Amino acid sequence: MTKLPKLEDFPVQDFDKIRYGDTDRQGHVNNAVFSTFLETGRASLLNHPGINAWRHDVYSYVIARLELDYRAELHWPGLVSVGTGITSIGNSSVVMRQALFHEQNCVATALIVMVQIGKTSKRPVPFTPEIRRLLEALQIKTKQ
């Protein structure tokens, strides 16, 4: 990724609060907490208004890959905005781009591969046409 994204580049946006307990001895937000902030964004996408299409009673979604690039420090107190969108759709997997923002500045970017699996089989399950349409509606429109 050559250019840092802007929050408005993402079809799904949410926020999280930076807590005092999120900091390390140097006063920075701990690196593991960045992943927690990203989880907030993925949960927003997976609970998008098209929730019925996702069939959470039949399918689960697991992370197969998480690539996280730290771009700037974060400090308490404050809010973090989370942008989430889909860049590509496979048979049973999806690639998401995410970014974290503090006061409009991009502080982290991430690439996540999630796989749809059957709740009982724990094996990849192809997307239904209905879920594929929902995924397509949540794709990022700009190049990242």
Average pLDDT over residues 31-43: 96
Q: How far apart are CA 96 and CA 55, in angstroms?
A: 19
Position 136 scores a pLDDT of: 94
Q: Measuring CA to CA, which residue among 121, 113, 68 is closest to residue 92? A: 113
Regarding pTM above 0.85, the answer is yes
pLDDT for position 89: 97
- Confidence category of residue 139, pLDDT binned at 50, 70, 90: very high
Banded pLDDT at 57 (limits 50, 70, 90)? confident
Contact 116, 66 (CB under 8 A): no
Residues 82 and 44 sit within 8 Å (Cβ to Cβ): yes
Contact between 36 and 6 under an 8 Å Cβ cutoff? The reply is no
What percent of the chain stands above pLDDT 70?
94
* Domains defined for the chain, CATH in brackets: 7-137 (3.10.129.10)
Task: Give 47's pLDDT tier (boundaries 50, 70, 90).
Answer: confident
3-class DSSP state of 27: coil
Q: Per-residue pLDDT averaged across 28-53, rounded? A: 88
Predicted local confidence at residue 10, as pLDDT: 97
Q: pLDDT tens digits for 78-94? A: 999 999 999 999 999 99
Query: Would you state the pLDDT for residue 53?
Result: 65
Band (pLDDT 50/70/90 cuts) for residue 56 is confident
* pLDDT above 90 coverage of the chain, percent: 83
Q: Which amino acid is located at 63 in the chain?
A: I
Looking at residue 7, its pLDDT comes to 97
